[in-house]
Amino acid sequence: MTLQSLFIVLNLYVFTALAIKISILCLYRRIFTVRNFQRASLVTGLVVVAFAVAAEVAALLFCRPVTKFWSRLEPGYCFNFDTYYVAVQTTDVVIDTIILALPIRMVSKLQLSPTDKATILGIFLLGGFVIITRILRITFVYQPHNNNVSFTKAELWGNIHLGIAIVCVCLPTYRPLLAKATAFSRSLRMHYGPLFGNERAIKSPKKINVYPLEDHTTNPKSEDLTGLVTSV
């Protein structure tokens, strides 16, 4: 990947992460309609948008002129990448933690059994994998004693982080899909189960006993003139 393409990808990452955060907040607001939660989610959304705008402006102004990002020989200057990277990623970890913690109090107040509450909380808290991948991203990319910044590694871990984030955001909506899949599987078993059973029965031939005609008096069941009696 060229540095020009990498510059575009790194800037698009900010908008992709913003879209993921806003989508999960909108999902929360649709599930929990309590006024206090609505206000908290709205404030969190405003913070998310403000931070995304600040991060994007900083990314665009990272090098002056912008072309110096991919042309090291061009006169100009660039900010320290490690400082920018750690600041942005650390703030993102804090925001992700706040978003992850938002539904916990609401779920704990639901009139459900402890098992159901634990199941729902478990689905929401699976978003913790997003925080884990972000921390791993900081660990693998941040190298303060290395002057050669690995933009490719940052882009790779960014893709991993966004992929897991998208899956985790969609998890609360998978329950109807899983319910339909379970019902479909049960329907298949009910429909094809008897057919498979008959097939096995057909493959198992009945036992046939053959008696001589003159022995039908000693075998009461042998009333057929052919001398053939079938018994299962």
Sorted by where each begins, the domain ranges of the chain are 3-173, 183-231
**Backbone region of residue 54 per phi and psi (left: phi > 0; alpha: psi in -120 to 50; beta: other values):** alpha
What pLDDT was estimated at residue 118? 84
Q: Which long-range contacts (CB under 8 A, 24 or more apart) does 139-143 make?
A: 141/85, 142/82, 142/85, 142/86, 143/82
This prediction's pTM: 0.66
What pLDDT was estimated at residue 216? 47
The series of mean pLDDT values per 10 residues for the chain, 232 residues long, is 74 87 90 90 95 89 82 80 83 90 86 82 80 80 64 73 81 68 65 51 46 49 43 40
What pLDDT was estimated at residue 170? 80
What pLDDT was estimated at residue 224? 45
179: which 2 tokens? 């319910």
What pLDDT was estimated at residue 43? 95
What pLDDT was estimated at residue 64? 84
What pLDDT was estimated at residue 194? 52
Integer angstrom CA distances of residue 160 from 130, 165, 172, 189: 9, 9, 20, 38
